[in-house]
Each structure stands twice: as structure tokens, then as C-alpha cells.
A and B are shown apart, each in its own frame.
Chain A
Amino acid sequence: MAEASPILSLKSVRKMFGAHAAVDSIDLDIAEGEFFTIVGPSGSGKTTMLRMLAGMDTPTSGDILLRGERINDLPANKRPTCMVFQSLALFPHRTVGQNIEFPLKIRGEVPESRKARALQLMDLLRLPQSYYAKNVLKCSGGERQRVALARALAYDPQILFFDEPLSAIDYKLRKTLEKELKDIHRETKKTFVYITHSLEEAMVMSDRIGVMRAGKLVQVGTPHQIYSAPNTRFVSEFVGDVNVLPVSLDTDGRLHSRLTGARLKPPPVPEGFSEGHLVIRPEFLRFLAKAADADNAVSGRLYNEYVLGSRIQYQVRVGEGVFAVEKLRQQAFTGKLDDDVIIGWDAKDAILVTD
């Protein structure tokens, strides 16, 4: 993905707060025009990383390069980058127009050209022209998002950073705005670096995703790679509900599940694997008429079912363990609660991770 010369490079970037490394030796290249998302739970260091990229914090060690130029000590107001904040940080004492024009005013542009540019950006972001003189606090949540983005675009940055701007927005609007943002990315052809704690959100928009945990990037890849080939249990769990079985490799090449006592047929086993977790996504599990209908099968009892829109999730209790099974609504399981069931999966659909 990053074959073109990277616009932004991080070389062993580290940020210490006292003895604690908030960001720990990160190496990363972000390509020109890429939509790159950093995903991680709170406290994983993603915000600290973004602040360093935007110039509001300086790394303790390592280098940040913008088109090959070291910019570690370049303050935010001198960097050709711009951030959309979590709180949006709109200027409450200014109108929509004044907010959008702010970077242009700072740059000393004349009012007429400022206004023209502001209206143009409002068009791009589907904000009615009549909002130009509207107080920004009178705008709805979604409108404010657009104003914040328009203001950042008015700065004409080479890279746009996003610090979880959609986290406080309700689900439906968030879904709309995620798509809009991806459209804007296409239209502006700028490099977007986005952080979020929701891998789901990241999947919708990103060209590539980096998953952060405790200051480190644990996996970088396309949404597909992250989804289908998580390299750790942590990454796999980040995607959503997954079934995770602690397993060890037996001498006969089968896996032994400590939880269910079952002996399982593994997916391709990595070199030197002896113990780890078997990850099975709920949609790869299916209800079986008989155990032989799949590579692996376990018996349990149907305990409950949850309707998730287009899908239905079933909770199946197997001994001490709990499995989640998902079916599309059209393919709903016909059994009743408390029925004894057999569930199973094919070896190729499971993922074996060490961590």
C-alpha cells in the first residue's frame, strides 16, 4: 500500500510521561492520499500519537518526517496539517462563516475571497448557504461536524487528523457521517489520519488500519487483513464478538481445547506454535444435524437468542464455555431455547493466534 513515497513517516517514535511510555517505539509510513485509521482502546496512546503528529506534543525520542523532512519540533501553527478535535473545538462566539474562515483570516486573506471559499466549502459539505451567518452553537450535532471539517479544509492542509470526532454522535447519524467522510476523502484527495476506539468505524472508512495497544502498534493492515487475519487475540476481539478457545497443540497435530476437552482439527499451524487461542467468528459457526457435517463439532444447549437487525445471534452453552453463533435472519435456526444442539465449523474458518 505504501509503495509510493510516504507523506508521513514515524521512526521509532516514543513519548514518555514520567517512566510510562504512552507511545512506545512506533515505526509507521502513511502514504500520500491514504485514509489511515489508528484504532485502540482508551489509554492505548492513540491520542498522544495524534497530538505528536499534529505538533501539539513533541516526541521524547525518534523522528517524525513529513515528506522526508524532520518536523519533530515544528509547532502546530507552522505545520501544513490540521486536526478535527473530538469536541470539534468550534469557536462558540463566532458564526458558521467566521469559524470556517478562521484559518483564512489568520493567513490575512481579504474578506471577499474568504467568504467565497467558505461558501464553496459549505457546498462541499452540504451545509446550506443560509447558515453562513448562523451562530455555530445553534447548529445540530451533524452540522457542527461539517463546520469543523470545513474549517479544517479551509486551512488547506496536506494531512487532516481526526481525533474521534464521531464518538459523541448517535448511531444513525454516525453511520451517515462515516460515509460522508469517506466521500470527502475521495473528493479532496487529501491524506486523512483518523483515530477511533471503534474498529467498526475504522473498517467503513479506512484504506489501512493500525491497531494500538499499550503504546505499541500491534497490527497494521487493510480492513480485510485485520478482519480475516488478526495477528493476536487482542486484534481479533477488537473486531466484535468472537469465540476464543484456549488451545494447545497435541503431538498428533490436533488442537486440544482446555475448556471443552474437545480435540479439534486446526487451521494451518504457524511454525513453532504450541499453545494459544483459536478464534472463530460467530458467522462461521453453524448448527449441525450431526457432528460429522463439519471439520469440528461440539455439543451444547441453546441458551438464548438476540436479534441484531439483519442477523440473529444465538448463545450456546458448552460445558463451562459459551459460544456465539450468528445467522442471517433468512437463515434463522428453527430450534427452541433449551434444545440440545450441535455446532461446528470448518478448520479453515478458524484463526490460530499465539497471544
Chain B
Amino acid sequence: MANSSKISRRNFMQQSALWAAAFAGAGSVLPGQAFAAREKELNILCWEGYNSAQVLDPFRTSKGATVKAESLTNDPTMINRLRAGETNVWDLINVNNPWARKVMHPEKLIKPLDRGRFEPFFGSMMPEFKAPYKWAMDEAGAELLGMAQRFGPYSYVVNTDKISRAAAEDQGWNLWNDPANAGKYGILESDDWNVFNICLIAGFDPFKVHSDDEVAKFTETAKRVFKGAKVVGDIATMNQSLIAGEIDFHMTGGTYSASPARADGHPEIRGITPKSGPMAGGKGGVAWIEITSTVNNPELSPLAADFLEYVQAPDIAHTVAFAEGTFNPVAQMGNPDCFKLFTAEQLDAIQWDSLAEEMGRCAEYDIVPDYDKLLDIMSAAKREASAG
């Protein structure tokens, strides 16, 4: 307690950054106690799941640590929180695959991991994660930037009582090009993914710079797709509407969004990966892999690395896969000690039967170079659709 009242210059800078973030965020939640002795403290910025008590409590107990986790449901917001100065606040950031390698490392928002300590863990993961795993490494292939865990295909979800899995896979993104389907589908409010999907529906690869013609096509498609949507909402709304029969299918969805409904006794709700599509190799699905990295925090908590190690353990990896909210496959299922913890029901909830096959038909989530422009177009399309 001796130095508790001393305000160092750095402390002051951190405070200022926090104030700036608070003002600009206008209502965003600030984590408390962001700066004190860091040995017993860990702050995690993540997708939901890592912030659950099931995952955090054993770690808190064993380390006697104060662990705060804030969950958000889109990557750009989390990255921008770091850009806005919150690298002083967070120790770990958990986002989808391209961000560490392509954005956060070049912008020095994260710190590389100790390869000697962490690379061996990739050995017991599923085969496609063998070291050096592309999304965990920097562009040069020299630095290890994060650890992989949850992943999944994420294209669209259908109620197989209304549209068979085979028909949905065959028809692919053209489901949204069929005028007869207007009013029968929903759209999950994941606007970053919806940008990918509109590209795919329009018939071109999302993860590249788009020509004027493609942008025009995108604009037209976005208007049409949003106009035909019966409902735009969160995951709970999508699942409820699918089960109740308000909609037959919805876009942006996969094991991540369908698994809660499947675990709840609705096997007819199923994530679908199209057989083919406009991306390289004729792929039509998009998959995500979360990479968890240590933040370039000047006072990084030593617990950050410990936590990354902690979640590799088979039982904790299983807990992460089935933490509250959504249920997902984890790379650690490649380890038989971890895999055997999954019950038949749990495997069915995450569509284990078709997981490998679906991942094979997926391109991996990547940065859309002209995302800002496309998102603005899409937001306007959504607005214009509401004007009738």
C-alpha cells in the first residue's frame, strides 16, 4: 500500500487515455482497476465464452488473481479499443484469425509469444493447426503471435424441416438470389460478416479490393437482400424465429450460432456450408479461427501467458468449447484426452459429423481491404430498405 497514492507520469498517461476512450466511446464500459500492481491482475478483451465464470473461476482461484474479461461481438471494435489507447488496459485480446498477423502485429498492438514455451502446444492440436500455423505467425514466419482454440464454419443456417441440408448446400448463396425466398429469411446482425455474405451472394470474393462494377453489384445486392429479409436480429432472435417458423433460414450463421438451438433439442437447426462459391478453389463458405494474443501493454501482466497456457489443458479447452452462450469446436480436440470429454450430444451440437468436410469447403476469414466503403454501402442499403 506504500505506493498506492503515488501518481507516476505513466499512470497519468494511462488515466488520460482512459478518459479519452470513455469520452469518445460515450457509454462504452470501462474496466475498473486497470492499473495497479499487475502481478495479480489480468484483463481480457474477448468474444463471449472466455469471460464466463466456468472458464475464469478455476484460474482466479489457483492464481489468487483478479481477472476481468469484457466480451464484445465484433472484431473491429476490439481492435479500435486498442488503437484508442487501451493497450494500457488489456493483457489479452481474442479476435478472429487475420487481425493478429495482418493488423495488430504491424501496428504494434500485440507482443509476440515465447515460441519455445507455446509452439509445442500446436503439436497436440488437430492436424490443420500444426506449427508453424499460418494465422498464429507473423507475415515473415518468425514470430508466434497468438494461440488458436475455437473455430468454426460460418456461412448460413437453415431449418432442415423447411429446406433440406443437401438442397441448401447445393443452392449455396443463390438462396438469396431466388426472388421466391423474399420474406423467408433472416439476417444476423453481424455486419462485418454480412459484408462478406453480400459479396458472395453477388458472386465475387469478399477478401480483395473490388472493382467499380463489383461495388455496384454489391450495392444492388445489399438493397435487395435487406429488403427481402423478414427480420434482422441477434442470435437468440434468429434461432427463435427459425424454430417458431417465422423464417426458414438466415445468413451469417454456423456452428457458433446454431449450436445453442441444437443443444436445446432442435437438431433441425443446422449450420450449412455451401458446396461451391466464388472464392479461390471454388470455395463458398467462410470459416473463422480465433487467435488469442498478448497485448503490447507496457505493464503486461505475467498472468497473460499463464492464462494462454491454462486454456490449453484438455479439461479447460473442453470448458471453453462449451462455455455459456455459444458452443464451438476447439483445436485441442486433436488431443484424445480432450476429445474424450465431449459427449455424443455435445458433438452433435457442434455438428462434429460434418465439421471436417465443411471446413474443407471454407475459405478462412480475412481482411476485406475496402471494408469501410462496403459497410457504409450496406448500412445505407439497410436504412433504405426500411424506408419501404
**In the complex they form, do A and B come into direct contact, defined as C-beta atoms under 8 angstroms apart?**
no
A interface residue numbers (CB < 8 A to B): none
B interface residue numbers (CB < 8 A to A): none
